[in-house]
Structure 1
Amino acid sequence: MQKWQQTLEQQRVGRREELIQAARGLFLEKDLSGVTMKDISERAGVSRVTLYKYYRSIDELAFEVQIRILSEMYRFAEEAQLHGQNALERLHDLLLTMCHFASSHPEDIQFIGLFDHYYRDSYPSPELEARYRDFLRSSEVFQSLIVEGQRDGSIRTDIPANTLAALIGNTSLSMQQRMICRGHILHQEQGIDPQEMLLLHIDLLVSYVQKR
């Protein structure tokens, strides 16, 4: 690739990043239903003609932001140094790691909740649906540890590994969203410590999947 082509590609990557960040900020401020392509072009400081060269719709940008956030979350988990004598103990450590990610990236967890709610009934197009599902299938944060635990005898084998992985992933993320978005209110109303609730939830999940 020639130097001018490399420069052009770098500019395109930079512009795409600017658009994604502009969309992410607006989605968090206004919810997905309240943002227009005009809003994003104005926030990013580009014309709508330029914006449409990169993204054709709000939906494309929303999925781009969602995949970007989940990719970062999964990378954070994959790079974690897990400790424990068996897979169950390392699973516990992984859940603590994911809890740390949620606590240090509250807006990302909030966006995932907005995305799930906005697209709760259907996907906007077969193309975006296929891309998103392919991405999710390629990301197995919990399943490999569960399979390992079923082999080493630390995790129950009466429930399929993919079912346990889905249970852990969905319930832990739901609890994180609840505590991050409403933890301060729950603290006032119910006198609970949101961080303590997250840790207790981790213990509950680990206890459930442990082989008796």
Structure 2
Amino acid sequence: MSLDLDALCIRSADGVSLFQPLTLHVPAGKVVTVMGPSGVGKSTLLDAIGGHLAHGFHMSGTVRLNGRDVTGLPAEARRIGLLFQDALMFPHLSVGDNLAFGLPASLRGRAPRRAAVEAALSQAGLAGLYERDPATLSGGQRARAALMRTLLADPAALLLDEAFSKLDAGLRGEMRAFTFDHVTSRAIPTLMVTHDPDDATAAGGPVIALKAAPPP
């Protein structure tokens, strides 16, 4: 699986381009990092790739997954996971039920779904916490749970939007290693937006500078 962008460009409602057209290739199991100044449109770029572009913005160019054009598909049909800087958990659900929310509908039956979640919790170092209230988790535990919920959806590509920025230094290194190990082992093409050069160094892949479009 690979993620490819071809001349992707985003314009605001008044027709002004946010950044110069972007063409890049993200191979399976690799992390490509996008960096650039605040306000250039890095998060908006990820929204466009994932199919979540806000009203008022317009995209041109093509998004392909493994050669398949997904540009016109709704977000739920693209199989592109998105992980934010806030490890958001549904407060009314247990930790396990939060992870189960990410399971594909094709996995049927209470027992198989429970087993898939238990396996994911174990991989994340959260074994035995299925019934735990997510409010009782540490920051690192919440971050690992949020990542596993995203991975349980079996994404064909992964987008990381400043995913490590709110963790303290020790946890940031731990979560980088945890995330990139899973990306590699599952051969998921990953595009990461970050302000932190250490994130890019840890990812070990190409670094792309998102450049503002010249003024009209």
TM-score calculated relative to the size of structure 1:
0.31
Q: Which has the higher strand share?
A: 2
TM-score calculated relative to the size of structure 2:
0.31
Computing the radius of gyration from Cα coordinates, the structure with the larger value is: 1
Greater RCO, 1 or 2 (C-alpha within 8 Å, sep 6+): 2
